[in-house]
Amino acid sequence: MTNFKTYYYFLGIGGIGMSALARYFKAKGCEVSGYDRTQTVLTRELESEGINVHYSAQIPPFSKDVARNVFTENTLVVYTPAVPEDFEEFVYLKNNGFRMLKRAQVLGEITRAEKGICIAGTHGKTSTSTMTAHLIYQSHVGCSAFLGGVSKNYDTNLLLRRDVACNVFANKDAAGNVCTTTDVNSDFVVIEADEYDRSFHQLSPYMALITSADADHLDIYGSKDEFRKSFEKFALLVKPNGFLIVKEGLDLRRDVARNVSTYTYGMNAGDFRAENINIENGEIHFDFVTPTETIKNIQLGVPGLINVENAVGAMTLAYLAGVKPDELRKGMASFAGIRRRFDFQVKTEKIVYLDDYAHHPEELRASISSIKALYPNKKICGIFQPHLYTRTRDFIDGFAETLSLLDELILLDIYPARELPIENISSDIIFDKVTIKNKTRAAKENLLTILKNKELEGVLVTFGAGDIDIFVPKIKEMLEKYE
């Protein structure tokens, strides 16, 4: 985006993708503020960075100290599809002639101006995009990145190319290191490509990677076939002379523009793949095989077999972007993970506690399988909060089947997010189909009491994309206290 507005207003600023854009324009020297429904860790961080956030609708929607400087011609309103069109601030801004763009449209403008590395998929895209960003950012190549999770290496969901960040943050990069000019000419930007509301169709990738295309958001797409077709359309958006990388075995047509190079990736299969995977003492090592060479003994900085496949996808993108073999080794070994993605909180002889964002049946299956591979002799107790009434309705059997892989289940009520209740759809319909005997239905306000009354040992996991994360520090404190 070359012609910056002077004022940016975000409807839904607390979203993971929206907050990254807000930080981006703030770093560019623009005035930034926004609305969100509830205060969260992210919105508090934005406020501490000098971004004004309010939590109840107000007309006009701008704070008093900046309202006098707000004019329609120099202001851009950014919103997400989750904002209802009858929301009073949305109506006010639309009726008063403000330019309004969806978040995906703004990201699309950025990918048209730079070389977008866009990672899409029903699951795996946040981990893969964050790994990709770290690999390229810490190398001689360099990049910027808009992430769908908070990188634990940098404690943020936004990375600015080092030469840009140095201008903004007093000669230090996102990791606090003194800047160099090695990546001054890099124009790569890593973006997590969101399939919800077909948002990723706004992008113009130089490189595109598709991790998975298991059906989701059927309230938007209507059918599994339409959902699959949306990923095929995304693949067609790759720029000429660009790259399309698809997970090996994924059932997608790979029609592409002329002069686009196509590859597959995976574990033990694909043009780029992991071989000789070894798990020992909680550490994972493997060889990274490319079409022209093998880079041996890659150490994965985060646990879980699920992350090997993500790492191969990320390394493929970084390799094609020019990252050197030694930089790939260093980057993978130093990757610290993402908040709420297979995120270890407590690790003792008696109890291991981790938190995971998994909210689709296939994500749950992959996460539970990874935990079992790491801890084959430990009992696994999972706490799951379903996300959305529509997703619960569409995948009842899938949820019941994967949750039955646990040794014990605590099932919470559905987190509605943007949705109104659907008649006869509740967590009970999953609970009744779960086949394990050791299962409990619970309201979230009773969760801590239930846990306090249990003899906890083995592995405890919190799963879900709703507000279950508010319990993570409380559970962690409780377990540490009882050790």
User: Is the pLDDT assigned to residue 279 strictly greater than 90?
Assistant: no
Tokens of 330: 């260093």
Q: Kindly report, residue by residue over 88-144, the tens digit of the pLDDT.
A: 999 999 999 899 999 889 988 888 889 999 999 888 888 999 999 999 999 999 999
Q: Kindly report, residue by residue over 401-442, the tens digit of the pLDDT.
A: 999 999 999 999 999 987 889 999 999 999 999 999 999 999
Domain CATH for 411: 3.90.190.20
C-alpha separations of 108 from 84, 261, 469 in Å: 22, 21, 30
Regarding whether 404 and 321 lie in a shared domain, the answer is: no
Q: Kindly report, residue by residue over 4-52, the tens digit of the pLDDT.
A: 568 999 999 988 889 999 999 998 889 999 999 888 878 999 999 999 9
Regarding whether 406 and 303 lie in a shared domain, the answer is: no
Regarding whether 123 and 70 lie in a shared domain, the answer is: no
Q: How big is the chain, counted in residues?
A: 483
252/268 Cα distance (integer angstroms): 20
Neighbouring C-alpha atoms within 13 Å toward the C-beta of 129: 32
Give the containing element (helix H, strand E) for 34.
Answer: strand 31-35
Domain CATH for 60: 3.40.50.720
Regarding whether 357 and 232 lie in a shared domain, the answer is: no
Is 109 inside any structural domain? no
403/434 Cα distance (integer angstroms): 7
Is 1 inside any structural domain? no
pLDDT confidence bin for 67, thresholds 50/70/90: low
User: Is the pLDDT assigned to residue 466 strictly greater than 80?
Assistant: yes
Regarding whether 281 and 189 lie in a shared domain, the answer is: yes
Regarding whether 126 and 38 lie in a shared domain, the answer is: no
Residue type, 482: Y
Tokens of 476: 């962690």
205 near 238, Cβ under 8 Å?
yes
C-alpha separations of 169 from 46, 152, 163, 177, 186 in Å: 16, 19, 10, 11, 18
264/248 Cα distance (integer angstroms): 5
440 near 409, Cβ under 8 Å?
yes
**Percent of residues in the chain assigned helix, strand, coil, to nearest 5:** 35, 25, 40
Is 108 inside any structural domain? no
- 371: Cβ–Cβ under 8 A, 6 or more apart, which residues? 304, 354, 380, 459, 461
Domain boundary among 102, 134, 151: 102
Domain boundary among 102, 131, 165: 102
409/7 Cα distance (integer angstroms): 48
Mean pLDDT of 330-353: 88
Query: Residue 482: what pLDDT?
Result: 62
- 206: Cβ–Cβ under 8 A, 6 or more apart, which residues? 111, 115, 116, 117, 188, 238, 239, 242, 243
Regarding whether 54 and 147 lie in a shared domain, the answer is: no
What is the tally of structural domains in the chain? Answer: 3
User: Is the pLDDT assigned to residue 170 strictly greater than 70?
Assistant: no
158/8 Cα distance (integer angstroms): 17
Domain boundary among 334, 362, 392: 334
Regarding whether 478 and 419 lie in a shared domain, the answer is: yes
**Long-range contact pairs involving 474-481 (C-beta distance under 8 Å, separation at least 24):** 474/448, 475/345, 475/353, 475/448, 475/451, 476/345, 476/346, 476/353, 478/448, 478/451, 478/452, 479/345, 479/346, 479/351, 479/353, 480/346
User: Is the pLDDT assigned to residue 155 strictly greater than 80?
Assistant: yes
Query: Which structural domain range is residue 450 located in?
Result: 343-482
Query: Residue 6: what pLDDT?
Result: 82
% of the chain exceeding 90 in pLDDT: 53
Regarding whether 275 and 209 lie in a shared domain, the answer is: yes
Query: Residue 1: what pLDDT?
Result: 45
Regarding whether 281 and 353 lie in a shared domain, the answer is: no
User: Is the pLDDT assigned to residue 183 strictly greater than 70?
Assistant: no
Is 144 inside any structural domain? yes
Is 107 inside any structural domain? no
